[in-house]
Amino acid sequence: MTSTVKSITGFTIVMLITLPWDVLGFAAASDHQSPSVNLNAIPEINESTLNSTIAEHIYFILDCYAPLCRPCETMDAALKELSKDLGDQVALGRINLDENGQMAERYNITYAPTLLTFRKGTLVDMQEGPISGQELLGTIYRLSPDINTSQVDLSAFPEVPRALMQNVPLADLGIDNPGLPMLINESNLDSAIVKYPFFVLEGFAGWCGFCKMMNVTVMELSQDLRGQVAFGLINTDTNSKVTGDYGITTFPTILIFKNGVFRQMVMGYAPASELIKVLDDIDPGLRSSKYNLTPSTARKNRIAVPNVEFNGLNL
């Protein structure tokens, strides 16, 4: 492996090339020009190259992501836009948390995505969850006010909801008409589906920033639809059988049950005003004090599931 480094005052971008020289079509001593590379690509870092990469730059921003993480994809898109607009003025890298667990433990990373900012090899800023282009720009400006941001078009950045919340109050499982979500696991999911005629379960992951936002949505709807719909939260990190049984590959994922029947799956984050319309499609008799319930079309990212009667999975 070899690396190509392009420098400008105070900032560099490192492009890692993993193909051998003979595959690229020239020998080490060749006079041929280097192959073209995408200067907007964000280099992939790993634990063996992390320290040396950080040490090479005055300022370095590291995107810590996880595979199959939609908020991570949003963050990646924002960073690529920023790299394109700022050119060679900023150094960026990304690291796969699933494949670099020691690094995650070293910096106490518990959510994906997480953005780490280094100055002269020292960690100076850490931001959990997806952040907007404006926030990214503000982070860089605080580190280097002299950076030229005149070419940055914030309208091109993905929109990122900011209703993040660390903790959600819970109701005790089994109570009648819960006004808060209940914590569900593999051993009590069956009984919850049987007890509550209209039951909505959010599958979340501890590292998932958008799951924290969905937790807020679930809490809001638990209060608004009390007595009509019961809500639960299940940690897919510790209940992997549920993940496999229902084919959960995206976080958060909403599973909707009506009278013991698995009716619908909603993948990805949805605000309360959207999710309640999905529920109203299943039960048009819902009453809400906060949201206007009118006939709605299906959300683009929701999956219709055939009405197969719940068969009492051995969870």
72 is known as an active-site residue:
no
E strand or H helix that includes residue 234? strand 230-235
- Write the DSSP assignment of 92-137 as a string of letters: EEEEETTT-HHHHHHTT--SBSEEEEEETTEEEEEEES---HHHHH
211 is known as an active-site residue:
yes
First to last CA, the chain: 48
Pairing of strands 230-235, 198-204: parallel
Residue 272 · residue 213 · CB < 8 Å: no
Q: Backbone phi, then psi, for 294, in 5-degree steps?
A: -125, 160
Query: Of 234, 259, 228, which is closest to residue 248 (Cα–Cα)?
Result: 234
Residue from 64, 69, 72, 211 carrying the catalytic annotation: 211
Residue from 64, 69, 72, 208 carrying the catalytic annotation: 208
C-alpha to C-alpha distance for 214 and 220, rounded to whole angstroms: 10
Catalytic residues: 208, 211
